[in-house]
Amino acid sequence: MSTIDKLTKPSHLIDMSDIIREGNPTLRAVAQDVTLPLSDQDITLGEKMMQFLRNSQNPVTAEKMGLRGGVGLAAPQLDISKRIIAVLVPNSEDTEGNPPKEAYSLAEIMYNPKVVAHSVQDAALAEGEGCLSVDRDVPGYVIRHSRVTVEYVDKNGDKKRIKLRGYNSIVVQHEIDHTNGIMFYDHINKDNPFALKDGLLIIE
C-alpha cells in the first residue's frame, strides 16, 4: 500500500511515526504540484494533516498519542512529495487570561501555495524555529520575509490570495519551504546565528 493510501484510510490518525525526519531525501526534494481539480484523496490528506495539528495542540490527545505540538505540517514531512500544507495558529489568551474571541489567527489547508510577493523587510522569531522533522534544537534567527502575499487553492478548490504578517507569515513560509526541499536552519547565519542585520524585525 502506498503511503498516501495508508494515511488517508478512514481509520488512520496521523501520528509522529508517520513523520519523516531530517536525513530523509524527500525533505530535500522539490514537491510536485497537486493536480486540479483536487482529488478526493488529496482533500482527505489535507483534512488528516489538519486533524493532526488539532490533536497535537490538545494536551490530552497529544499526551495520549505521543505528539509534539505543531502549528504547521507539510505533505513532504509525511514522505508524500506533494505541494500541500496545513497551518493552525492558535490565538493566545488576553493579558487577563480570557480566551480569545477567535480560537485561531490562521487555520487553513493550502494546495499549491506560493509566495507571490514579499516585503523588503526581513523578520525572525525571537525564539528561533522548530520542526516536527527535526529532533534537536537549532538555535539562531531564521531570516524570513516580514510580510508575504500567498496564493493557493483551498480545500473547496477555490483560488485564494492572502496577505500575512507576523507569526502567521513565518509559519506559512516555513511550511512552503518544505514543499521546496528547504529546512528552517538553511536560513540561519552559519557564522553568527544571532546576527542582527539592519532592519530585521524580531517577532517576540
Binding-site sequence positions for Fe cation? 131, 174, 178
The one catalytic residue in 108, 151, 175, 204 is 175
- Answer yes or no: are the C-beta atoms of 129 and 142 closer than 8 Å: yes
Cα-based distances in Å from 14 to 27, 49, 104, 176 = 18, 7, 21, 20
**Strands, E, within 56-182: which ranges?**
72-74, 84-90, 104-118, 122-125, 144-145, 148-153, 159-164
Query: Do the strands 122-125 and 144-145 form a parallel or antiparallel pair, or are they unpaired?
Result: antiparallel
Residue 175 known to be catalytic: yes
Q: Residue with CB nearest Zn ion?
A: 131
CB of 71 to Zn ion, least distance (A): 10
For Zn ion, give the closer residue by CB, 38 or 76. Answer: 76
Q: What is the H or E stretch that residue 203 is in?
A: strand 201-203
Query: Which residue type sits at 78?
Result: L
CB of 81 to Zn ion, least distance (A): 15
Q: Which of 34, 78, 84, 131 binds Zn ion (CB under 5 A)?
A: 131
At which residue does the C-alpha cell 482529488 appear?
Answer: 39
CB of 96 to Zn ion, least distance (A): 33
CB of 132 to Zn ion, least distance (A): 6
- Mark the segment that binds Zn ion (CB under 5 A) among 30-38, 100-108, 128-136, 194-202: 128-136
- Mark the segment that binds Zn ion (CB under 5 A) among 38-46, 50-58, 107-115, 127-135: 127-135
- Which residues ranging from 80 to 99 are in contact with Zn ion (CB under 5 A)? none
| Residue closest to 76 by CA, chosen among 185, 184, 177 | 177
- Mark the segment that binds Zn ion (CB under 5 A) among 92-100, 101-109, 123-131, 195-203: 123-131
Binding residues for Zn ion, rule: CB under 5 A, are 131
Active site residues: 175
